[in-house]
Each structure stands twice: as structure tokens, then as C-alpha cells.
Structure 1
């Protein structure tokens, strides 16, 4: 064990969203994440929420200045083929991702949310 008093945890990406309904449809209904918590300063102000699936944690924000549309997140995982089959069975109308062999020797599946953000699910061989 290290004597270093500093402990840095994994970063949590903040992804910009523009519609709570579309975000829920994509992240919760399609990808199978669960909403851990939600926050609004007042009822009609922008939403900031955390979604989780396994060890993956994402923050989704309607706030101007939080994240940039088109952000890419690399998501290491196990069980990529089973996850792919789970998504294919849902027949999501806006996306039909495939699995590709990555040049670095793993398998990847890229999904793009309704706001242009990419999640690159990657399983080492």
C-alpha cells in the first residue's frame, strides 16, 4: 500500500443533453442505466442528473457550459457481445450499433446519443 495521502478516483464525464425525455429514452430505456439522482435549482430550471450501470457513472446536464455536444467517452467493459444482443433486442428506432475489431486488439461498439455524444464500449480480448 502506498504512503501517498492523495487518492484520485476515476473521473465522471459530464455529457450535455438538450431534452430530459430523449436522455431518459436513450440512457435508461435503451442502454439500461439507472438514474441515481437528479437535481434542479428550481422546478423549471435545467436538470443535472447521474446515471449508472455497473461501475460506469455519467453525469447528464442541461446546463449551458456543462460539457460539449460531441464528447466521446471510452467505456471499458466485459460482456460486449451480450450487451450488443441486449440492445439489438430492444429495436431502438434511432440506432443499430455493431461490434468492430479495434486496431489495438479489442472489440468495440460505439453508440451515439441524441445529442451527438459517443460512448465507445470496449472489451479487451
Structure 2
């Protein structure tokens, strides 16, 4: 069952989607549309009958985001942004002279890089299932990165393209 809060979020996303397509809709109109979509006569009826919160009946997980240790912001940006093609999702420091915590992403792959010594140990391995591994290899090799030119290794269970960052971490990209 959908809660009132979830219905409001649906209306908010609907309104944003319509605006992205040059269609204007008021907040109340979006709420009415969601109410109809959920089978209610109008928003007031939906608001009266929908529960405030839906009780969770099972533990669910969305995805894991690995945290990798880094020691040098410049080298991290060169490797992850310039070489691997990630983009910055967010940057956080508690103060200007304190360690960096950096969120990066490429497509649906998200990684967090941290200069905080308690967040992660150097030398971690992250396994990343993917498609089009040959295209990715060709992209990386074309960049002529001075510290590595990764190639695909065929295993009995898939193709592996492993890269090593400047901090001792490994990312194993794998295609079945």
C-alpha cells in the first residue's frame, strides 16, 4: 500500500516531469492526477484514506556504494575523473583544511573516495559487473594514461578488466 507521503512524492515527480516537457501543472493538479491514478475520486479522498506511513514488512536494500581510501586529491581526480571518466557527484569537507570526502559516478556506478583514515583501508578490491567491456578498454587505452594501460583477461566465468588506482585499490570490471 502507498502512504500519503509516497503519494505526495509521486505528485512532485509528476510535476517535475511535466515541467521538463514544457507542460505546466500546479501542485494541486499533480495531487489530483496522482489520486485518480491510485483509484480515488479526488485528492481529499485519497488523503483521508491513505495511511500516513506504510509499515515495512521486510528489510530491503537498494545498492552498496564502496568507499575507497585516497591520499592525494590531485592524483585521485586525475585517475578517477580524467582516466576512468567519472564525474563528481558531491564534495564534502568539515572545514577547508580537513580531509576530503568525494562522491563520484559514471552512469549507475557510484564510488565514494575518502581521505579520512577511518573510512577505508588502502588495498581494497571493488568488483563491478558491466556490459561493453571491450568498448571501455578501448576508451581507456586511447587515453594513453602514463601509469597503466589495462587490458581484458578472459576467465572461465567472464572477461575481466582490472585497474589499479594510485592508492593501492583495485577495481575489477567484469562482463559475463
> TM class by shorter-chain length?
over 0.9
The equivalent position to 1:107 in structure 2, one of 141, 159, 167, is 159
| TM-score, normalised with respect to structure 1 | 0.93
Q: Which has the higher strand share?
A: 1
Matched, 1:18 2:76: no
Select 1:95's aligned residue among 123, 127, 148: 148
Bigger fraction of residues in helix = 2
TM-score by length of 2: 0.67
Structure of larger gyration radius: 2
Matches within 5 A, 1:17-96: 17-96=70-149
**1:14-39 alpha-carbon deviations (Å, 9 max, x no partner):** 10000000000000000000000000
How many Å separate the matches in 2 of 1:121 and 1:102?
A: 12
Question: How big is the alpha-carbon RMSD for the aligned residues of Structure 1 and Structure 2?
Answer: 1.1
| Equivalent residue pairs, number | 121
Distance of 2:92 and 2:164 partners within structure 1: 24
Q: Which runs of 5+ in 1 are unaligned?
A: none
Secondary structure of the corresponding residue to residue 101 of structure 1: strand
Q: Deviations over 1:38-68 (max 9, x none)?
A: 0000001000010001111100000011111
CA-CA distance at 1:7 after TM superposition: 1.8
The offset of 1:9, in angstroms, is 1.6
Q: Which runs of 5+ in 2 are unaligned?
A: 1-55
Q: Within 1, Cα distance between the matches of 2:75 and 2:155? A: 29
